[in-house]
Amino acid sequence: MMRIEQAIARAKEQGNKVLKKDIAARLWPNSTDAGRQVCMTNLCAGKTTRIDPEWVAVICEMTGCSADFLFGLSNE
């Protein structure tokens, strides 16, 4: 399971306001708002069966964290 909510919280602590809806808009640009919300909820809850490597890059870029942090391999 990806630690997206923790990454967003860390970004906020560093003065970078990142919203889940903004991340979802970058990950699924061709989906409806409702579709994006469902996809993001599933991704945060660990219910997504496939994680695209590009998604990891986008989330890391937007939150300022590393892929290792997202996947719980480090706390940095």
| Number of domains composing the chain | 1
**Residue 38 placed within a domain:** yes
Which structural domain range is residue 25 located in?
4-70
Token pair recorded at residue 36: 């994006």
CB atoms inside a 10 Å sphere around CB 56: 15
**Residue 26 placed within a domain:** yes
Identify the sign of the CA torsion 45, 51, 52, 58.
Answer: positive
| Interval 17-74: pLDDT, tens | 999 999 999 999 999 999 999 999 999 999 999 999 999 999 999 999 999 999 999 8
Check whether 76 has a pLDDT greater than 90: no
**Residue 36 placed within a domain:** yes
Beta carbons of 3 and 72 less than 8 angstroms apart: yes
**Residue 75 placed within a domain:** no
